[in-house]
Amino acid sequence: MREQGGENAPFVQQGKAAMKIAYLIVAYNNPRHFPRLIKALETPNCAFFVHIDKKYDLSPYTAVARPNIFFSRRRVPVYWGDFSTVEAILIVLREALQSPEGFQRFVLLSGSDYPIHSASWIERFFAEHPDTEYMNLVPMPSKSYGKPLTRLTYYRPSPTNPSWVLFTAKALMKLGLWPRRNYRKILGNMQPYGGSMFWALTRQAADFLIHFCDRRPDFLAFYRHSYCPDEMMLQTILGNSPLAPRIQRNLTYADWSARQRSPEWIQRKHIELFKTTTRFPPDDPYGPGEILFARKFSEDADELVRELDRIIAEREAVQTAP
């Protein structure tokens, strides 16, 4: 088992354009897919900083032993829609920033993601866009994007509270009787933003996030009791920062057409889509842009992954043909 804090293996630079990428993986229940994801993204210029939900067994993941995979010693139990997701993200982001390798790009992924380009193509993409931040943002409130202000104004009890507390809170919220918070006491003149959990940030943006969080424990305490803070807190920080003009839509495809709490599993129809396009269309809710990653792949997606690998290889062979 390789844990963060051990001696890093040296990275191989492939010329001046080489891009050092830190992949931040927050995972819990997809260990069979984990080695597929690592294999697809691994190059001499990247490393993986991995947080595994404390509620789950670590050993199926640590069975994948590489000198550039670092499993967080500090683990938190992660719950859907809870601040614990933000905690896990900040843990791996801090660890990657503290690495002596000096990573230039920080890419947040889930354990069920997979790239739709080769690792070398992805490195070239980031090298060609060294100053762009990729993060979905929309000002709140936004009904059409499903980002109401109630995500901020309602006090959300911790999921570790007794079940009767959670049941009572949910019932009172539905009746409109649950007390509301004044988010302006914490945000001040900051515009609240919502978006998607996944992003790809420069080192400057990653540093900005960590320094802000260190300076504003009250900000973190407020979002600790909000709904889906992984889709709001970091987005609000960067959306109100000097880096905001550099932000473009994110790079991760997910199919939310079923309008459930979680996106659809990647199926054959999605693989067929990636045959014909690797871009978000102009009418996508967050606008057009390149797709680099897709989620979510199931444990049993071996055949789909093999097909996607074949598509990637054929596409890039055509692109590089003389």
Q: Which residue has the higher pLDDT, 285 or 293?
A: 293
pLDDT for the residue 144 = 84
Angle among Cα 273, 289, 210 to the nearest 5 degrees reads 120
DSSP E strands: which ranges in the chain? 21-27, 46-52, 69-71, 105-110, 114-115, 133-135, 138-139, 193-194, 199-202, 247-248, 252-254, 279-280, 289-290, 293-295
Using omega within 30 degrees of 0 as the cis cutoff, is the peptide bond preceding 269 cis? no
* Structural contact between residues 253 and 295, judged by C-beta atoms closer than 8 angstroms: yes
d(CA 89, CA 123): 22
Read off the pTM: 0.91
Q: Predicted confidence band at 320 (pLDDT cuts at 50, 70, 90)?
A: low
CB of 140 closer than 8 Å to CB of 147? yes
Which has the higher per-residue pLDDT, 30 or 303?
303
**Residue type present at position 270:** H
The Cα 236–Cα 46 span in angstroms is 28
pLDDT of residue 94: 98
Q: Which two tokens stand for residue 201?
A: 């940030």
Domain boundaries, the chain: 21-141+191-252
Confidence of residue 4 (pLDDT cuts 50, 70, 90): very low
CA-atom Rg of the chain in angstroms: 20
Q: Does 166 score more than 70 pLDDT?
A: no
By CB atoms closer than 10 A (0-12, 13-18, 19+), residue 35 is middle
Does 20 have pLDDT greater than 90?
yes
Phi, psi (degrees; rounded to nearest 5) at 61: -85, -45
| pLDDT above 80 (res 9) | no
Region 295-314 average pLDDT: 95
- The reported pLDDT for the residue numbered 318 is 80
pLDDT band at 158 (very low <50, low <70, confident <90, very high): confident
Show the tokens assigned to 166: 């959670």
Residue 224 · residue 83 · CB < 8 Å: yes
* Residue 248 contacts residue 199 (beta carbons within 8 Å): no
Which run of H or E residues covers position 314?
A: helix 302-320
Residue 1 pLDDT more than 60?
A: no
Domain 21-141+191-252, architecture per CATH:
Alpha-Beta Complex (3.90)
